[in-house]
């Protein structure tokens, strides 16, 4: 059976780390500008591919120009996807490290609290129970609806 300190640690850590970290801190305007930027990026890439195909069509036959254009497009998409997934993996590692640091700080704080308050609670369990009940009632009355 877990001790009260372990139970408190688990509850506090679960409450703090339950919700995932948001993917972006953008407000509505920032999201709109990113979407607009992505639209122009896609439009620019379409014209870039079309221009490359037109230029290659002058120097090579149509089939070879289409093949080279497709190959270059696929290569660029693989490179972009690799960069994207590497960025996601890096961000996930940072989030996990941040959550681990918070959990370690909470554990050390609760350990310190247990070291300071453990002996008086063990010596006077009834008084500690009455005080904890009263404090729980006050906290519930103040913070919870």
60 domain residue, yes or no = yes
Residue range 92-120: mean pLDDT, rounded: 84
State the pLDDT at residue 119. Answer: 81
pLDDT at 145 over 80: no
15 domain residue, yes or no = no
Supply the range of the domain harboring residue 66: 24-143
Q: How confident is the model at residue 1 (pLDDT cuts 50, 70, 90)?
A: very low
Q: Provide DSSP, 101-135.
A: HHHHHHHHHHHHHHHHHHHHHHH-HHHHHHHHHHH
Q: How confident is the model at residue 58 (pLDDT cuts 50, 70, 90)?
A: very high
7 domain residue, yes or no = no
125 domain residue, yes or no = yes
Residue range 25-51: mean pLDDT, rounded: 84
58 class by beta-carbon count within 10 Å (0-12 exposed, 13-18 middle, 19+ buried): exposed
Please give the residue that has the higher pLDDT: either 71 or 4: 71
72 domain residue, yes or no = yes
Q: How confident is the model at residue 18 (pLDDT cuts 50, 70, 90)?
A: low
CA 35 to chain centroid, in Å, comes to 21
17 domain residue, yes or no = no
Number of domains within the chain: 1
5 domain residue, yes or no = no
């Amino acid at each position: 059976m877990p001790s009260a300190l372990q139970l408190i640690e688990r509850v506090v850590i679960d409450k703090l780390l339950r919700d995932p970290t948001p993917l972006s801190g953008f407000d509505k305007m920032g999201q709109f500008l990113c979407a607009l930027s992505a639209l122009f990026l896609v439009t620019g890439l379409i014209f870039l591919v079309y221009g490359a195909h037109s230029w290659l069509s002058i120097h090579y036959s149509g089939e070879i120009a289409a093949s080279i254009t497709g190959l270059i497009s696929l290569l660029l998409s693989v490179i972009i996807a690799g960069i994207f997934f590497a960025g996601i993996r890096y961000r996930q590692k940072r989030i996990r490290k941040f959550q681990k640091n918070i959990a370690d700080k909470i554990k050390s704080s609760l350990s310190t609290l247990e070291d300071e308050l453990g002996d008086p609670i063990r010596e006077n369990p009834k008084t500690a129970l009455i005080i904890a009940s009263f404090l729980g009632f006050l906290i519930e009355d103040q913070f919870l609806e």
